[in-house]
Structure 1
Amino acid sequence: MRHVSLSVVDVKEKDELIDRVRADFVLDWTKKNHRRTVTTQLSRAYNAFHYMLYRKYREYATHEEALVNGGSMVERPVWEWLCSRWASVEFKKMSTQNKENRCKQRVNHTSGRTSFVVLMERRKDRNLIDFYKDAHWSNKKGRFITPTTEENYNQMVELMNANEPEYRTDEAAAAIFREVLGHRSGYSRGLGHSVMPESSTVPGVTNEEYERLAEENALNLKNAEYYKNRMPDIEGGFAAMRDHMEEYEQRVNITMSELRTQLESQRETQSTDP
């Protein structure tokens, strides 16, 4: 645990963790989504355990007290390293910034560290619109956690109610859920990272290829928008360059004209000399 995140853990140690997971589950390691699911869940579990240790550290009144009395869940050198990191100015600054960033989130949930997969498993009798409310409703405050989540839910309900009663099915709720929240390649919006996105419905195109093309298309659109926004500056630059060239050409013409005048004057002077 003497690492900030799983991404910087030694490759050998990381592979050992992955092998232990593969030994407990039936996985097809040739599939990208299987590999990604394992590494993502390992990373989340690693971060969750780090957070558990940090909460233990925060239970003590002082850093010194935590350093002496804590650390029963990890080896002493690891605990000392973690305490040193948590007490550092850099970590405190990052923690404050992360807290401010979370406060700015327009869409948040109330499930805490419980994954959406677990929530959906517990509430199989509810459709995705109901699930969205469950995951974003604060029982303590008696309202949605943010105005944006309330707007999203109201829009879903409005679209659902626009259907005839016999068409208000779970499938319709799922379609409305995706319509309101939108789509992002490789990620199921509103369902968290643990839920794999639906496979591509394009005939003859694998899901991985579809995701790659979608990401490539998104990048192309981003680049196109960037250059579109830059176009006025580029055109302005060309216009300024053209004006500069015209001004330079005028100055050259004036200089050449003055030189010709001087040469003619010199010739006339030489011709009149005895």
Structure 2
Amino acid sequence: MQDQFDLDYTRHEDVRTVVETMMTARRTHRNRMHAYFKKFPSKEAALLKPHPDTTEEQWKELCDLFTSEAFMKRSEQNKKNRSKLTVNHAAGSRSFQRTRACMKNQESGNINPAELYKKNYTNKDGIWTSEGAREIYERMDAFQRKCDLEGKTYTEIEVYSEILGKKSGYVRGLGRAVKPPPSSTLTTQSSDLQHQLAKARDEIEAMRAAREKDLQEFAKKQAEMEATLRDHREEQRVEQERIRLEQEERMKREQERMRIEHEERIQLEQERMRKEQERLRAEISKELEKKMSSVMEKKMSDMSKRLFSQFGGSKR
């Protein structure tokens, strides 16, 4: 229960609610056991097959209770009382308080009284348990619409008290844990609620205006950031383009320098080879001249010798 409700056990109302909830759970369990007991033709037959959720000792105590004169008399009287009811709920074992908590708006904490009543008095297919229940729902819905048109606030306790009337100590249709407020305080509470509602509306409006202002400032800052980002991207693009052009120009200059150096090396090599060829040609020419001179000298010497031999020999 503490997982679903904020309970303060120092408050009498919270303690009473817990006790009544536990008593309801006990009655529900006992009714379930009684329904199982009635399936058997006799107490002896029931004792032979205890309910799965009980021990044999617990089941024997329950069987003794169900066959006691006081229980049977009270059960018969309750049956007669239920037969007189014109409106029956369809909530089953779920308490009205549990349904009430589940239907509470998580943001506002409000409950639609008519829809709460409809939840408890229609089955899972949305069919009313009786025509009387449907008529009560329509009266509640009409009462709420009237209050809305007149600008009046209301709670489920006030609506239920107005339409269903009050029972001593609790509000009809909401369970015994909900106590009706004193009649003299309803008008005061309604006025206080209207004042609180107006104050809440003003606060909400102020919060909405502040939020709108924050959104506008955020949108402005976002636009400025986007513009700055665009400028930064453009600067990056320009810088990258400049770097690319510089690199291309540097590469062109480097290629031109390498081409010129290559051509100069080729020219130097060609000049060196030309000079080397001229040197070799000159050396070859000199060598040929020497050889030719030597050959000529030898021939001249040989010729002189032959002439001398011829002419000198004939004189003798």
TM-score by length of 2: 0.46
CA RMSD across the alignment: 3.6
2:118 to 125, 133, 136: 133
AA at the equivalent of 2:59: W
Aligned residues: 178
**Largest Rg, 1 or 2:** 2
| Aligned-partner SS, 1:162 | helix
Shift in alpha-carbon separation, 1:32–1:55, aligned structure 2, 3 A:
same
| 1:52 and 2:44 aligned | no
| Aligned-partner SS, 2:171 | coil
Partner of 1:80: 60
Partner of 2:136: 152
Shift of 1:80: 1.6
Larger proportion of helix: 2
In 1, are the aligned partners of 2:87 and 2:129 still within 8 Å (CA)? no
C-alpha distance in structure 1 between counterparts of 2:77 and 2:42, whole Å: 22
Partner of 1:68: 48
| Aligned-partner SS, 1:52 | helix
C-alpha distance in structure 1 between counterparts of 2:180 and 2:123, whole Å: 27
List alignment gaps of at least 5 residues for structure 1. Answer: 1-20, 203-274
Shift in alpha-carbon separation, 1:90–1:30, aligned structure 2, 3 A:
closer
Shift of 1:114: 1.0
In 2, are the aligned partners of 1:129 and 1:174 still within 8 Å (CA)? no
In 1, are the aligned partners of 2:161 and 2:172 still within 8 Å (CA)? yes
1:190-201 superposed matches below 5 A: 190-195=173-178, 197=180
Percent identical residues: 29
Shift of 1:93: 3.5
In 1, are the aligned partners of 2:113 and 2:140 still within 8 Å (CA)? no
Partner of 1:272: none
AA at the equivalent of 2:160: F
In 2, are the aligned partners of 1:129 and 1:153 still within 8 Å (CA)? yes
1:15-60: per-residue Cα shift (whole Å, max 9, x none)? xxxxxx99xx975444321332232122222222222222332333
AA at the equivalent of 1:111: A
| 1:180 and 2:163 aligned | yes
1:142-185: per-residue Cα shift (whole Å, max 9, x none)? 334252x333223223333435658487x377643332223345
Shift in alpha-carbon separation, 1:108–1:77, aligned structure 2, 3 A:
same
In 2, are the aligned partners of 1:27 and 1:34 still within 8 Å (CA)? yes
Q: Which has the higher contact order (CA 8 A, sep 6+)?
A: 1
List alignment gaps of at least 5 residues for structure 2. Answer: 106-110, 186-316
C-alpha distance in structure 1 between counterparts of 2:123 and 2:7, whole Å: 37
Shift of 1:68: 1.4
